[in-house]
Structure 1
Amino acid sequence: MPRFKTVHKGLKLLPVDFDKQLLPGSFEHALCYLVDHELDLGEFHARYRNDVDGAPAYDPAVLLKIVLLAYSRGIVSSRKMEAACREHVLFMAVSGDSQPHFTTLAAFVSTMGDLAARLFAQVLAVCDRQGLIGREMFAIDGVKLPSNASKARSGSRADFLRQAEKLEKAAQAMIAQQRQSDRHPEDEDQRDARKLARLQTSARQLRAWLADHPEDRKGVTGRVNLSNRTDNESAKMATGKGVIQGYTGVAAVDEKAQIIVEAQAHGTGSEQALLGPVIEATAHLRAADTHYTADAGYHSRAGLAQLGAAGIPAWIPDNGYRQRDPRYAGQALHLNKPDPLWDKRPKPRASKLYTPADFHFDPERKTCVCPAGKSLYGNGSHCLIKGQQAIKFQGAMRDCLACLQRAKCLRTPLKTATRQVAFFLPRVQRADDVLERMRQRIDSPQGREMISRRFATVEPVFGNLRHNKRLDRFTLRGQARVDGQWKLFCLTHNIEKLATHGAWR
């Protein structure tokens, strides 16, 4: 039987040279060189007041190295960062064998504030100095991530008022019941007392929140948005995997080396409102011929008009560009395939009533015939429904009252006399319209090429952040703190690019 040398596993005491653990070309080597020689941490030092009195504090450079190295390894929890500083030799080498408490690391990240934006700008300047920013195309995209907020605590002020009144009534009912009831066993009395205390505490918290927030939260368009009692700056937003309570992380990526040139986090799910802030934030970086690309979520008349007025070349497709692109001609075949996370097959229609598709509408003659074969008369030929022109029809009283299909046509046949139906007319686009001009640009061969280049530029970046860095949620609360955490993750991505392209080998 062959013999082999012994393989040691588990605990073993070894002399370790921390400097030799930082191999040139690795992320940790680039991180340490960047923090020690390139970044200005004077604003972090200004926050300390222990020159004469007080205990020595951990160097902010050490804390920054620990946090960024942890983010690069997919570690977000401050408790796991503390454990890594005790057990992982690479964290020991980066931190100089420092072992900060997890509360120190959590406070460092959560109180960073605007300093995260300044760090991001400094690293971006280093990337530009290394020649990693080409300024030919900036690709914009975003991701919706849950935050450290409870989705169940969302609602308007009217909803919270009703909840407070309901809790107060329940507490009053329990008090009255206890006064009128006979003697209960001791354990039941304690159980009722705890339940009453919970009701009263919840009611007081609701009243206090309503007093601190006298108005509903308003959106960009002035529409009332749902507030959240856990994190009122977060938003309830729909994603492909369901509704979440969180923030939208937006990033603008340069095409040359996939450097993130701008990173922002916003408490809204409307991507159309986020195009302008990103364009303005990257104004100092773009050149005269810099092109912007984005996905269909950023397509809007106001955004395209703003870009056109500023003379900024952009390629932003609309929602229907895939139906017009022959490269996606076979995508309908994949809709019937089951998906483990999202069933993309068409859902069966819940209602059994006749829909407008069951009516025969002649757009040329402007006539409509119901499923029973009766002609409807028009009662509105110049209507606007959600900004789109439509034409309305209504059934005649003599036909609808005697129809045998009223149960299939009307929701409440005993109350409603006749059926009404509306049909949208095709949109008429002018040649000088910004939407029509963008549509023509996207449908051109160059437009399809720019869409492919956008995919290849920005999607791998979000794949790195979401999969490799395991960024599946924000752990902080408040727009400023979440924005800082998002910038730190994007900053980690940029440092990886510096290490990959051979900076400071």
Structure 2
Amino acid sequence: MSHHIKGQGRNQITLFPEALDDFVTKENHVRVVDAFVDELDLHALGFNRVIANNTGRPGYHPAALLKLYIYGYLNRIQSSRRLEKGSHRNVELMWLLERLQPDFKTIADFRKDNGKAITKVCRHFIELCRQMNMFTDAVVAIDGSKFKAVNSKHNNYTPNKVKDHIRRMETHIENYLSRLETADGNDKVDAVQTSAAEKIAWMKQRVAELKELAVQVEAHPDKQLSTVDPDARLLKTQGMNRQVCYNVQSSVDTKHHLIVTHEVTNTNDRGKLADLTRLTQQALAQKNITVLADKGYYSGRDIKATQDMGASALVPKGDTSGAKKKGIFNRSLFKYDKDRDLYVCPAGNELPHKRNVEEGGMKLKVYVDHIACRNCDIRAKCTQSKREPRKIRRWIHEGEMEEMLTRLKNAPDTVLIRKQTVEHPFGTIKMWMGATHFLTKQLKNVSTEMSLHVLAYNLKRMMSIVGSESLIEAIRA
């Protein structure tokens, strides 16, 4: 006789059928999704078809489809076809949708047609977290991460890549023509000529297509063209590697690791600090916040704009000078004397303030001493010019940047805190996405998809922090 636990017979009839609600526990996250969506004013958020027409075939209420998507992204089911299958066999989805079974086209169209409203739902949940006093410290870490687009690297073209393809095709045409000449006098010359002629014709057509593509690439503002997803860009990832992707910017609370705000872009990190800071201040309804970022965000004007908005920025400065390769002194070796407003060079000579200039919209002060530089014994290590002396340019707001770097130096744990804070959500969401990352095309659709991922991440994070039942109580309060 077996001592294993035995299941119930498949043909067993029960006198009192079990209710669907019995299969969903009180702590199940599906109840959080149900309560959260039920409390939303979908019409005010901008969802389509909240108020149904009196005529025509009835449609699904947007609340049901929104619940379906939030549940799907919470459980790593982003595909509309898989969500359709889940509504047929998943007990939790049967409970959540009250046994509704929308088809995949309806599910996909809902995400496509309600992108802005879904983004507002993501912001609404952050507002709920703020009301629950989750952001009392007002310290956020900002970073960007590259997420693969639907467009492959093969279908992305730059001017050099198109030229290489054209040159390769023309070389192949020349090789086939030379093979035709070699085939003369051969018994199989007719078969060779026919095959080669067909390939040459195809390659000539391909060259014409590439030349037309080269014109489009040159006319593009970014000098690159993605043929599958026109908004995706070829960006640097790690080291010198490049990938056709989107750059997702986010600010993450250092205390609870909640994503306060996010933005999908197709450019690099430089110049995004002030924009993310402004969005974070709006989300937290507070201007006095502290922003942590890596050296990729270091830009004097961007940091100045961030501080002018009332935020405190802590951004390390990377050394981008080419002085070392040139074999001359780095600018950092010239010490600034604040009291006398001058620089002291490595040779000990003083470089006083001579004039003011404006370059790239920035007001700069120029420090130089022609006589001391001309008679200096180590001039060759200071400048490669035989006529012009070494000049030091200083931005008029450089003192504020130096004060920030001093604060950063006095808080050595800042770099570690930033990494531990902002890298965790990116890694988690990429794991949920799988190897393909985004499933949709174009920036507006990718932004909608990312909003669903962020909402799912924050929901799961809050359930982990306060528990499902406590979160439901806060939602209904």
Q: What is the aligned counterpart of 2:418 among 446, 449, 454? A: 454
CA distance in 2, matches of 1:266, 1:488: 16
Paired residues of 2:269 and 2:297 also in contact (CA < 8 A): yes
1:57-136 equivalences under 5 Å are 57-134=59-136, 136=138
Letter in 2 for 1:142: G
Question: Whole-Å Cα distance in 2 between the matches of residues 244 and 81 of structure 1?
Answer: 29
Structure 1 gaps, min length 5: 219-224, 321-355, 367-377, 384-388, 395-423
3-state SS in 2 of match to 1:31 = helix
* Equivalence map 1:364-403=2 (5 Å): 391-392=383-384
Cα offset for 1:51?
4.3
Residue identity over aligned pairs, in percent, reads: 19
Out of 382, 386, 399, the residue aligned to residue 433 of structure 1 is: 399
Pairwise CA distance, 1:236: 1.1
In structure 1, give the amino acid aligned to 2:55.
Answer: V
Task: Output one character per residue of 1:84-134: Cα deviation in whole Å (capped at 9) or x when no partner.
Answer: 222222222222223333333333323333222222222222222333332
Note if contact 1:217-1:227 (Cα within 8 Å) is conserved in structure 2.
no
Alpha carbons of 1:393 and 1:172: their partners in 2 closer, same or farther (altered >3 Å)? closer
Letter of the structure 2 residue corresponding to residue 215 of structure 1: A
Asked whether the 8 Å contact 1:138–1:254 carries over to 2, the reply is yes
Superposed CA offset, 1:353-381 (max 9, x none):
xxx88989999689xxxxxxxxxxx9xx9
Amino acid in the other structure paired with 2:157: G
| 8 Å Cα contact 1:264-1:483 kept in structure 2 | yes
* Secondary structure, aligned partner of 1:273: coil
Deviations 1:437-463 (A, max 9, x none): 22211110xx22444443443333233
CA distance 1:113–1:213, change in 2 (3 Å): farther
Query: In the alignment, which of 478, 496, 502 is matched to residue 460 of structure 2?
Result: 496
Distance 1:158 1:467, change over 3 A: closer
Preserved CA contact (<8 Å) 1:157 1:215: no
* Contact 2:157/2:225 (<8 A) preserved: yes
Tell me how many residue pairs correspond in the alignment. 412
Question: Aligned residue for 2:47?
Answer: 44
SS in 2 for 1:485: helix
Residue 260 of structure 1, CA deviation: 1.8
How do 1:72-471 and structure 2 match up within 5 A? 72-134=74-136, 136-156=138-158, 160=162, 184=191, 200=205, 215-218=219-222, 225-240=223-238, 242-268=241-267, 270-284=268-282, 285-319=284-318, 391-392=383-384, 432-444=398-410, 447-468=411-432, 470=434
Q: Secondary structure at the match of 1:64?
A: helix
The change in CA–CA distance for 1:263 and 1:34 in structure 2 (over 3 A counts) is same
How far has the Cα of 1:22 moved from its partner? 3.8
Report the counterpart of residue 4 of structure 2 in structure 1.
Answer: 4
- Verify: 1:478 aligned to 2:422, yes or no: no
Q: CA, structure 1 residues 298+27, in 2 after alignment: closer, same or farther (shift >3 Å)?
A: farther
User: Residues 8 and 316 of structure 1: is their aligned pair in 2 closer, same or farther, counting only changes over 3 Å?
Assistant: farther
- CA 1:205–1:30 in structure 2 vs 1: closer, same or farther (change >3 Å)? farther
Cα offset, 1:4, TM superposition: 3.4
Amino acid at match of 1:25: E
In structure 1, what is the equivalent of residue 371 of structure 2?
none
Pair 1:467–1:150, CA change in 2 (3 A): closer
Q: Secondary structure at the match of 1:45?
A: coil
C-alpha change, 1:52 and 1:207, in structure 2 (3 Å) is: farther
Evaluate the alpha carbon distance shift between residue 452 and residue 80 of structure 1 in structure 2; reply closer, same or farther with a 3 A threshold. Answer: same
**Structure 1 residue 34, shift from structure 2 partner:** 0.8
* CA displacement at 1:238 relative to structure 2: 1.9
1:330-365 Cα distance to aligned partner (Å, 9 max, x none): xxxxxxxxxxxxxxxxxxxxxxxxxx8898999968
Q: Identify unmatched segments of 5+ residues in structure 2.
A: 334-345, 349-374
Q: What TM-score do the two structures reach when normalised by structure 2?
A: 0.69
Q: Do residues 30 (structure 1) and 32 (structure 2) align?
A: yes
Instruction: State the alpha-carbon separation in 1 of the partners of residues 395 and 127 from structure 2.
Output: 44
Conserved 8 A contact 2:297-2:315: yes
Quickly say closer, same or farther: Cα 1:299–1:205, change in 2 above 3 A: same
2:362 equivalent in structure 1: none
CA gap of 1:9–1:71, structure 2 versus 1, over 3 A, is farther
Kept in 2, the 8 Å contact 1:139–1:254? The answer is yes
Q: In structure 2, what is the Cα distance between the partners aligned to 1:115 and 1:151?
A: 32
Tell me if the contact between 2:281 and 2:287 (Cα under 8 Å) persists in the aligned partners.
no
Can you list the C-alpha shifts for 1:304-333, whole angstroms capped at 9, x where unaligned? 22223334212222347xxxxxxxxxxxxx
Deviates more, 1:257-266 or 1:55-64: 55-64
Cα distance in 2 for partners of 1:19, 1:316 equals 51
2: CA distance between counterparts of 1:49 and 1:158?
54
The 1:2–1:150 alpha-carbon spacing in structure 2 relative to 1, beyond 3 Å, is closer
User: Is contact 1:130-1:503 (8 Å) kept?
Assistant: no
After superposition, the C-alpha distances for 1:280-323 in whole angstroms (9 at most, x for unaligned) are: 22232242432111222222222222223334212222347xxx
Give the secondary structure class of the aligned counterpart of 2:257: coil
TM-score normalized with structure 1 length:
0.66
Q: Is the 8 A contact 1:25 1:504 kept in 2?
A: no
* Cα distance change of structure 1 residues 154 and 463 upon mapping to structure 2, 3 Å threshold: closer
* Aligned equivalent of 1:334: none
